């Protein structure tokens, strides 16, 4: 899409917001009509990327302030929200681990236990990627592991576009990077977005450890399912990769023994995990997860204590994600406060009246999961669907907390196309698989993932009480 077309779409959609806001529309208030227009604009901007996705977040907040949905101070507060402090802490950890090659070290250590059997190497690669993605951005996890996978494939002279080993290795890295983020609140933006929406709508706060209690098992189960599906769809042409272990050992040797700064970085990472988990076992302060995030950021940057400089953080951090998340939260907040989300939910709930909670939740999971293909952003998908899912559950008298969690996790099911999420695009860029080859597995994986998610319903319901 060229710049002129992008500008036309951006301006035309912006004009639609004004038209919708000021035309007579039943008993709708100006703010309600504006929120309908702003929602349309958000979807168009997210899908077409006629403006950068983070800029869409700023536009959403600006329009909400202009049309009186929020006062300026509240609109801007979404940028400095506690959710963004959690995400920023995750970015700082990622920068620190990457600077000292500790993210690579951790993933290679896991891979070193898998031997030379092709299937096991793929599983090890996926598990390492998933576990890494629980603590650093999924894009970074894929970027770290993809070259390791390529090194393995070069040993067997895997032909790009034809080798099944190449297909399962590279698609596996992409899937695992996306799935792993589900495990913790710091793994991927849809998780803290879900936690915030659940709290705003129901008053219930999901602690760090409580999310991990179901997030980690779900992520591990889905990783194994994805691995099994890939090996069934594309059985590798070689049963073993001679020299695979040597590659891992050689890469570990390059990293060498841990120096003082690496040990300090790991120690602060360990402290970070303890701080985040504390309030689940010992009451500390309200909003402790986010207070802990601020402490973690300070620890990494404190002279004489930390291992990062502010220049490094300001240069390496993906600041755009903070604006994207802020816009998503502001969109959900505006729809909720103007009553639009309740109207929409009541309308949808009418067609679901009398349906089993299991059926309702699996429908929501499937809709959210497949909608990632349209939005091409798991953050945008969760921003759009979590508030609506919560409101639908409330209208039907169901547990809105669980339904919000379902919508949030399902928003991460970006399994169909390379364009759906950056890890997919990174893996696709190496040329080992085609679009439709990912889509075939992705379709089945999305269906199975939704079923697995609902199968966890009794466990999650028990944990949230």
Asked if 117 and 240 count as a contact pair (C-beta separation under 8 A), the reply is yes
Mean pLDDT of the chain: 92
User: Per-residue confidence at 29, pLDDT binned at 50, 70, 90?
Assistant: very high
The whole-number pLDDT of residue 181 equals 96
Asked whether residue 253 carries a pLDDT value surpassing 90, the answer given is: no
Angle at 383 between CA 145 and CA 32, to 5 degrees: 165
Burial of 158 (0-12, 13-18, 19+ CB in 10 A): buried
**Cα gap 141→103, rounded to integer Å:** 8
User: Per-residue confidence at 116, pLDDT binned at 50, 70, 90?
Assistant: confident
Asked whether residue 465 carries a pLDDT value surpassing 90, the answer given is: no
User: Per-residue confidence at 268, pLDDT binned at 50, 70, 90?
Assistant: very high
Q: Which pair of structure tokens corresponds to residue 111?
A: 């891979």
Quick: pLDDT tens for 335-372: 999 999 999 999 988 888 888 999 999 999 999 999 98
Mean pLDDT of the 312-333 span: 94
Burial of 442 (0-12, 13-18, 19+ CB in 10 A): buried
Mean pLDDT of the 5-12 span: 96
* DSSP-assigned letter for residue 134: T
Percent pLDDT > 90 in the chain is: 76
Mean pLDDT of the 192-201 span: 94
**Sign of the torsion formed by the C-alpha atoms of 368, 373, 374 and 380:** positive
* DSSP-assigned letter for residue 418: G
DSSP 62-119: HHHHHTTSS-HHHHHHTTT-HHHHHHHHHHHHHHHHHHTTHHHHHHHHHHTTS-SBHH
Mean pLDDT of the 95-119 span: 87
The whole-number pLDDT of residue 4 equals 92
């Amino acid at each position: 899409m060229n710049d002129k077309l992008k500008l036309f779409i951006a301006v035309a959609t912006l004009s639609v917001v004004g038209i919708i806001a000021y035309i007579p529309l039943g008993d709708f208030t100006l703010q309600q009509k504006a929120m309908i227009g702003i929602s349309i604009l958000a979807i168009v901007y997210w899908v077409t990327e006629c403006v950068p996705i983070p800029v869409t977040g700023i536009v959403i907040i600006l329009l909400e302030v202009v049309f009186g949905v929020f006062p300026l101070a509240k609109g801007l507060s979404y940028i400095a929200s506690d959710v963004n402090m959690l995400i920023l802490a995750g970015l700082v950890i990622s920068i620190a681990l990457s600077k000292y090659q500790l993210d690579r070290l951790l993933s290679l250590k896991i891979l070193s236990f898998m031997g030379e059997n092709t299937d096991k190497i793929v599983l090890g690669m996926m598990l390492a990627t998933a576990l890494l993605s629980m603590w650093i951005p999924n894009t970074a996890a894929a970027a770290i592991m993809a070259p390791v996978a390529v090194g393995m494939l070069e040993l067997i002279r895997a032909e790009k576009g034809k080798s099944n080993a190449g297909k399962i290795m590279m698609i596996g890295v992409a899937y695992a990077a996306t799935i792993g983020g589900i495990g913790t609140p710091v793994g991927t933006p849809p998780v803290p977005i879900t936690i915030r929406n659940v709290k705003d709508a129901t008053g219930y706060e999901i602690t760090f450890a409580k999310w991990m209690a179901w997030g980690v098992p779900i992520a591990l189960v889905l990783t194994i399912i994805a691995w099994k599906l890939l090996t069934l769809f594309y059985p590798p042409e070689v049963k073993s990769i001679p020299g695979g272990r040597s590659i891992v050992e050689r890469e570990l040797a390059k990293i060498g023994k841990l120096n003082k700064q690496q040990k300090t970085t790991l120690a602060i990472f360990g402290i970070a995990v303890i701080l985040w988990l504390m309030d689940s076992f010992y009451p500390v302060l309200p909003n402790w997860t986010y207070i802990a995030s601020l402490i973690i950021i300070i620890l990494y940057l404190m002279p004489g204590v930390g291992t990062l400089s502010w220049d490094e953080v300001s240069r390496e951090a993906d600041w755009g994600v903070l604006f994207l998340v802020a816009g998503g939260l502001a969109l959900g907040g505006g729809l909720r406060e103007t009553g639009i989300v309740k109207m929409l939910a009541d309308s949808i709930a009418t067609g679901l009246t009398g349906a089993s909670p299991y059926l309702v939740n699996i429908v929501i999971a499937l809709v959210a999961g497949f909608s990632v293909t349209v939005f091409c952003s798991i953050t945008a998908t969760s921003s759009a669907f979590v508030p609506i899912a919560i409101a639908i559950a409330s209208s039907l008298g169901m547990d809105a907390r669980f339904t919000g969690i379902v919508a949030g996790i399902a928003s991460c099911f970006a399994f169909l196309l390379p364009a759906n999420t950056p890890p997919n695009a990174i893996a696709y860029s190496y040329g080992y698989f085609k679009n439709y080859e990912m889509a075939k597995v992705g379709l089945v994986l999305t269906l199975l993932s939704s079923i697995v998610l609902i199968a966890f319903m009794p466990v999650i319901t028990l944990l949230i009480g």
